[in-house]
Structure 1
Amino acid sequence: MNNKSALGILFRIPEYGKVKKRLAAQIGTEDALSVYAAMLYETIESVSKLTDIDIYGFYQGLASTQHSLLKKFQSMPQKGKDLGERMLNAVQWLFEKGYNKVVLIGADSPDLPARYIEDAFLKLNYYELVIGPAVDGGYYLIGMNMPLGIIFKGIKWGSNSVLKDTISIANNEGIRYFLLPQWYDIDDIESLRQWKNQQFSNSFLP
């Protein structure tokens, strides 16, 4: 460990039929797999340029099919029954390694400006919790300067109330938080069209 700040990326190993199922229903399973692989590639390439931040991967799926780009940083399987448990376990693991600032993102916002991630770490000097609100009612980033397990409890993951419920918990617990600018996740054809830095053919976009 060279730095005091750690970024964890939660993602799925690109496997046919296992990724972007909502998008696959619109553009087909093969193209959805290509899109997700491109999203993961773009995400990893983007965060790899960050400085003074150690990067870790937390994956779901078969490690034997692990994307070659993941060799850029240490990766390990996610642990937990739902997204909340998986994020909590990742956060706790990173704090136990000695980091004092931990931020988690996914691979669903490949063109997320790097400055948002950098600002998240900066804001953790003054706030206990930083959240990046997503357009769909969830969040694209969450960071903290201490383990805040309560933040992941009792949330209906995948709903449009994730952000609202997370903020409610923070308010009830007296946790000081900061909201980053809103950004979007790529989950359907409409959000896919917003992705300006596409690394794949547009031929399957109607």
Structure 2
Amino acid sequence: MSTALIVFAKAPVAGQAKTRLIPALGAEGAAWLARRLLDHALREAGGLSADHWELCVSPDTRHPAFAQAVSDTGGRLRLTLQGDGDLGERMHRALTRALATHRKALLIGTDAPAITSATLQDAEQALARHEAVFVPALDGGYALVGLTRPLPALFHGMPWSTPRVMAETRARARQAGVEWVELEPVADIDEPPDLVHLPAAWR
């Protein structure tokens, strides 16, 4: 079955990227880490033999890091814009677009360096047996979502950026009769205490 892989990313601009890490790293340091996380996520994503590979960005496509990513993949990586709406609306729109032409769609952000190509392969395989797959985050959210069909109930009106996201997602999935599976939880790098979860070579 054909698979689409979407990487959601925000432009690594000083003062706008990873702002909750600025007290620990400074604006430039937080932007540097955002770029490092982006590069890592794309490198791991490149290890999955997806039929469609997309970097879906905000607030626009003009940052040099995005053009560099497309160039580094020889044009294999498609650059798209997240567009308007909250996180759920943007994710639902990207997944629905991908599922219009592919049987499976995986979406990750760039905040969880523990998401590897092996994780992506496991998630893709899980979608052969389940309608949805998640990699929960230790902070109560999730770092990966994969679907075989659009499920708007999992995205609209969700309390994003709170510890209730994964719990609410489970409740909605049960209510909608969705068959899903969860892989091993990982850490997101959002707050200064999360920096201990970075790969040792990055610290």
Residue pairs, 1:126-137, within 5 angstroms: 126-137=129-140
Instruction: Please report the TM-score for the alignment, with normalisation by the length of structure 2.
Output: 0.91
Which amino acid letter does the alignment assign opposite residue 22 of structure 1?
Answer: R
Question: Any conservation in 2 of the 1:79–1:89 contact (CA below 8 Å)?
Answer: no
Question: CA offsets per residue over residues 26-82 of structure 1, 9 Å max, x none?
Answer: 221110011111111111111112224431011002422231123330011102310
Q: Residue 87 of structure 1 is aligned with which of 91, 95, 101?
A: 91
Confirm whether residue 139 of structure 1 aligns to residue 118 of structure 2.
no
How many residue pairs are counted as aligned between the two chains? 197
Which consecutive aligned stretches of 4+ in structure 1 deviate over 6 angstroms post-superposition? none
Unaligned 5+ segments in structure 2 are none
Q: Return the offset for 1:4.
A: 0.7
- Local SS of the residue matching 2:62: helix
Percent identity, please.
27
Rounded to whole Å, the distance in 2 between the matches of 1:37 and 1:198 is 15
Confirm whether residue 148 of structure 1 aligns to residue 151 of structure 2.
yes
Question: Any conservation in 1 of the 2:61–2:79 contact (CA below 8 Å)?
Answer: no
Residue pairs, 1:193-204, within 5 angstroms: 193-196=196-199, 198-199=201-202, 202=203
Q: Return the offset for 1:193.
A: 2.2
Instruction: Please report the TM-score for the alignment, with normalisation by the length of structure 1.
Output: 0.90
Confirm whether residue 181 of structure 1 aligns to residue 187 of structure 2.
no
Question: CA offsets per residue over residues 83-122 of structure 1, 9 Å max, x none?
Answer: 00000110111112x1000010000012323222111111
Confirm whether residue 121 of structure 1 aligns to residue 124 of structure 2.
yes
Question: CA offsets per residue over residues 117-170 of structure 1, 9 Å max, x none?
Answer: 111111111111111100000000001111111110221110000000000000
Rounded to whole Å, the distance in 2 between the matches of 1:161 and 1:49 is 31
Q: Which residue of 2 aligns with 1:162?
A: 165
